[in-house]
Structures are given as structure tokens and as C-alpha cells.
A and B are shown apart, each in its own frame.
Chain A
Amino acid sequence: MIGCVLAGALALAAPLAPQARANDVGAAIAAGVVGAAIGASLAKKSKSRHKHADDRFSPAAGVTCYRRQRACYKDGGGFAANWTHRIYG
């Protein structure tokens, strides 16, 4: 399903960035722009294992939010979409 989402996003992205038409995408791929960007995104991940003690906070009982992820979770549970929206918009 994410493929459908990505396809829709890419298809609808064209009006927002008219310069990124099919020919431009092909040219960018041929020039290695897209591949280079993906490679950089995947390769730059740090191997450091620093602990971020201040990464989390609790906006309410039973809910913990994580600053770097920009997401909230129920304590002892999973992703809290409603709390994430409430805290981060």
C-alpha cells in the first residue's frame, strides 16, 4: 500500500514542482541525481550509539513522546496517532 501512496504522492507532486516533469525525472535519473540522493540518505546514518536522555517527555499520564522521532506512544503500547497530532500538529 505504501507503493500506492508513494505513486500518488509522486504523481501529485508534479503540479507543486512543475519543473519535475517526466523528462526531468528521466534526466535526473540519467544524471545520477536521484540515485546519489538515495545513496546519501542511506549511507549517512551514524553508527554512534549515543543515548539521548532528554529525548522523551510525557505530556499526560500514560503517554510518552519522543522528540527526535516526533511521535508519541502509549505507555506499554504502540504509536499514538492522536497524541502525535495533538503535540506536533
Chain B
Amino acid sequence: MPRPITACALAAALAATAAPALAQSQRLQAAWDAATAEGPVLEDAAAARLNQIAYHSAVDGLCEGFEIDVAEISAAANAVLADAAALDPEAAMARQAEILVALGTAHGIFLAEGSLNPAAFCAEAAAVRDDPAFDDHWR
């Protein structure tokens, strides 16, 4: 006599036949919401460059075979920090601190995103490095 199908067996069968779920986004929505809640620290292009710096450094920290090009990254960081150059010394210092806090925040969130999904994070970084249309900042 066949054994009765248990609830567990049914669940397992359903799970096995269900359509595969869409991959979960790596983006930490709540963290970015909190980090950007007060509005922009920089204009669009500079903020995007800050994200690139933070991302490249996070990949360097988490993925084997990636090492940032310090000269390129430093030049990119200086281009963002140049925003403060026209200010008086005290205001420039405050502005640079604000930008560096934003950089550190982005770096931390990218590290968290990569740490939660290391294989996918590093595989996508490799695809970015292989994209001939994108000039990355790894050596």
C-alpha cells in the first residue's frame, strides 16, 4: 500500500515544480534611502563619480583579482573634492568633510551589498571590467 503523501512531501513537490523566482536585487534600498534622505550633497555627475570610487574600492576589498588603480581613483576623488576649492579655507574644510563622509557612506553600503552576495557581486564586477565601452579604475 502506498504511503500517504505528507504535507512536507507536497510542499517539496510544489517547490520543485514552481517557476524559479526572480533574482533578488543586491541593492540595499533602506540604506540608500537613509543615506540620501537629506537630498543631494553633490550635483549628479559628481555624485555618480563618488559612487564609482566607492564601488571600485568595495570590489577591491571583496573580490579576488581586483586592485584599484590608486592614481586614477585619486584623480577622480580630487575632481570631486575640487568642488570645495573656490571656498574660503574654513568652508572648504567643511565641504571636503561633507564629501568624504558621503564617500565613506557609499563605500560602506557597497561593501555591505557585496558581502551579502559575494559571488554575484564579483561576477558582475568582472563583467564590468570586460565591458569595452566602460573605462574602469582597476589595474
Contact = CB atoms under 8 A, between A and B. Distances in A.
A82 interface: yes
Given A46-B38, A82-B133, A1 B61 contact: yes
17 contacts: A5-B53, A5-B77, A8-B77, A12-B74, A13-B96, A16-B78, A16-B85, A19-B92, A20-B96, A28-B89, A37-B97, A48-B37, A73-B26, A76-B23, A76-B25, A81-B128, A82-B131
Contacts of B100: 6, 9
Nearest to B32: A69
A53 interface: no
B23 A37 contact: no
Contacts of A60: none
A71 B137 CA distance: 17
A78 B51 contact: no
Nearest to A68: B36
Interface in B89-110: 89-90, 92-98, 100-104, 107, 110
Interface string A70-85: 1101111111111011
A64 to B, nearest CB: 8
Interface of B: 22-27, 32-40, 44-45, 47-49, 51-57, 60-61, 68, 70, 73-75, 77-78, 81-82, 84-85, 88-90, 92-98, 100-104, 107, 110, 113-114, 117, 120-121, 124, 128, 131, 133-134, 136
A19 to B, nearest CB: 4
A20 B93 contact: yes
Contact of A75 (B25, B40, B57): B25
A70 B39 CA distance: 11
A89 B24 CA distance: 27
A8 B27 contact: no
A45 B37 CA distance: 6
A33 B52 contact: no
A71 B51 contact: yes
B9 to A, nearest CB: 30
